[in-house]
Structures are given as structure tokens and as C-alpha cells.
Amino acid sequence: MLFPQFRAVLVERAFTECGVVHVVARTLDGTASCPDCELPSSHVHSCYERRLADTPVGDQPVLIDLTVRRLYCDNALCGRRTYVEQVEGLTFKYGRRTPASRRVLTVVAVALAGRAGARLAAALQTRVSRTTLLRAITAMPDPLWAVPKVLGVDDFATRRGHHYGTVLIDCETGRPLDLLPSRDASTLAGWLREHPGAEIICRDRAGSYADAARTGAPNAVQVADRFHLWQNLGTAVEATVRLHSTCLKAAFTSSDDPPSDSDSADAAKTMTPIEARIRGRHATIHALLAQGHGIREIARELHMGGNTVRRNARAAVPEQLLTGRRQPRASQLDPYSPTWTNAGPKDTPTPSSCLLRSRTWATAGATRSSATTCDRGAVDASALSHPHHQESAGSPVGSCGTPSI
């Protein structure tokens, strides 16, 4: 019995074992061409068996046990002494799957990639690993493309802060075209000279990309990317609002009433420890500058770096140093912060200390007895009057259980 599409293969027998269809076949006698000199030969060196995975039949996987021949090359001028015959459409060099099975896996890999593709392939009676599917993607030839009229240029990070590259995109279709190993001007300029034809270059505001576009494509029009325009606008607005934050706070207070001590105390409470440290350091450095001290002298006196002192010296107001800092987010513990402070005596444990001890106990895996040794009944009475503790009145007073937040 012959394969209809493979005239050089003879099927000897087929059987099913453990839910797998095995097909035993061999190549027919005849000539096969050398892959180097293409001279046909029928001089047999030896035979061996190859096992190929094929597409499933009747919801059962198929394995083909194919016996192939190793032939001598009769060309004395050829550097290859022996070679293995290949069946066109059925085998290829070092292949363990048929081209039909390989095409199915490639389609699955392109659609779903790694683990998801492996799960779908298992449902198709083809068990492969995620790395096999990824290798199938990398083995695909690069698609053909033409240089677009509108070329998008942006950078990407392989390791943020250390290694960056450049991605080139067709802005009209959104299709990525090429990846460059760096974001230097010379690299992009060389690519533009090798691929002329871009009429508009849409890029971010990096100076290296501007120089590369002027050098590699001098006739192209350079435009700024919309995303980076919005990003720069947002950064500028945030910096301006941060710089004039004191003016915004003053707008909510009456101009007739002078600021009271309570207003100053409320402003100090809303100030984060980092902001307070920055403001104090700025005031100290400017006070020393007013006394005539130099940058290096201040750095030695305050045990700071020279760049830190220079940055504070250039800032006229501390808000310039706070520009771009993230505002603290609201926490689930904010309603309990007035109660969870050390309001009692120095040695009196508060609910916050009990919570910390209970979390440490849970992490360290200690026994429950070690978690209940924190002075039963010594919790401040004012802390127990909080609504949270009234809800958990069923628990023993002074226990160190973690409150349900």
C-alpha cells in the first residue's frame, strides 16, 4: 500500500497501541540526490528508523515509523561522503514531525503562544511543551514588508534602566516592522539610510532620535507622538500644581482671618515624613548658604553628597524638590490611625503593637502560646472604646488576635 501523495514510501503495516496509531513504512529502492552536489546515487551505506509525529486521525495521535536509507555520494569532488534520503513533503533534516503537523503547531503558537497553546495542542491530541511552540515561532521566516510612509519610532527596555532598544512601527497599520539593538542615533540613522522611503517620522522627544532622523532621512517630516505629548503635558501640569501647592491651600482659607496655630498644626499633620525631611534639609542648606558657606563645606558638615547640596541650593522653594513625588495613597488602616498611636504609657502595648506581634508570630511559625504573652489586660482603655473593638467584644480583653479589617 502506497501513500497517494508519497510515491517513494511503502506502508508495510498499521496498528493501534495504547490509543496511538502506529504506521510502519519504508522508502522504496531508487536514487536520491546529494544535498550538496545534487548528484543522484543508489549506493546504500546503511538503514535506520525515524519516528515522525503526524496529525491525529479519528481523535487519535499518529506516529510514523519510517525506515530510511543512508547513501554514499559517488562524486569524488564532493566533500560529503554519506547522506540520508529525504521524502519531500514527509521528512526534513533533523525533523521529528511531519510538515503537516508542524504547520498546525505553528498556527497554534502564533495564536496562543506558550502555555495556552500547549493546552490547545493537547486537546488536538498533540502533546508539546510551551518552549517547543516558542521555538516554532522563532523558526518562522520574517514576513515581507515595505517601508511605510508614516514610520513610528520609540524605545523599549529589555532591562529597565540598563538596556534599551528601538522598535519601528508602521503607524498606518500598527504593525511592528523591526527591532534595533540600541537607541543610539547612529543605529537608527543607519537603518533609515538602508530603508529609504519614509515621508513622516512619528517619534518621541528624545534628542538622539531627532538627530538620527535628520541624518538618515533629511527629507522626512518629524512629528511628536501623541502619547508623549500628553505625557509631557501631564508632567508639566503636575510640576506647576506642586510648585504652587501653597497658593492652592491659601485659596481655601479666608483672606480676612489670619492663619491660626490649628491651621499650622493641620498642615504639619498632612505632611508626610519624607516631605518634612526634604523641607527641613532645604531650609538648613539655604541658611548655611546665607551665612557664606560653600557647597563642599556644607556637604562635609551635613554628611551629604555634593549633588544633593547643589540640587537643594538651586531650588528656590522646597516645592521644586517635591515635584514628581507620588502622593500617599489612602489605606484601610486610616480610620484606625488616631487610635493605633502610642497614646498610653511607654511600656503599654497598643493594638498596633499586638497586630505587629501577631503578624510576626504568623510569619515565624511560633506556637500560639508565644503570641499571647503580650501583657493581657494591659491594653489602653481608650483604645478599647473604638467602634472596631466594640464589634469584636466577644474576644478576650487584651488578646493579641489580629483585628478583622
pLDDT value for 395 = 41
Element (H, E) at 150: strand 150-159
Among all chains, which residue has been given the C-alpha cell 517601508?
147
* Predicted pLDDT of residue 404: 41
Task: Find the mean pLDDT for residues 231-255.
Answer: 74
pLDDT digits (tens, 9 = 90+) for 77-87: 898 999 999 98
The SS3 of residue 296 is: helix
- What are the cell numbers at 257? 482671618
Give me the chain's average pLDDT, please: 78
Cα(356)–Cα(371) distance, rounded to whole angstroms? 10
Strands (E), 171-230: 175-180, 200-203, 221-224
Residue of 158, 170, 168 lying closest to 188 (CA atoms): 168
Domain range 150-224, its CATH number among 3.40.50.2300, 3.30.420.10, 1.10.10.10, 1.10.150.120: 3.30.420.10
Measured CA distances, 144 to 62, 112, 136, 176, 181 (Å): 34, 22, 18, 12, 20
How confident is residue 336, by pLDDT bands cut at 50, 70 and 90?
Answer: low
The confidence score (pLDDT) of residue 328 equals 54
Show the cell assigned to 56: 491525529
Cβ pair 124, 104 in contact under 8 A: yes
Helix 185-194 and helix 207-216, axial crossing angle in degrees, nearest 10? 30
Return the C-alpha cell found at 43: 549506493
Q: What is the mean pLDDT of residues 366-381?
A: 40
pLDDT of residue 329: 58
Each residue's pLDDT tens digit, 288-302: 999 999 999 999 999
The domain spans of the chain are 9-138, 150-224, 337-391
Spatial separation of the C-alpha atoms in residues 106 and 55, rounded to whole Å: 13
Q: How far apart are CA 201 and CA 207, in angstroms?
A: 14
Full-prediction pTM beyond 0.85? no
Between 193 and 348, whose confidence is greater?
Answer: 193
| The predicted structure's pLDDT at residue 343 | 47
Contact present, 371 and 358 (Cβ < 8 Å): yes
Cα–Cα distance list, 57 to 22, 63, 90, 327, 328 (Å): 11, 10, 16, 62, 61
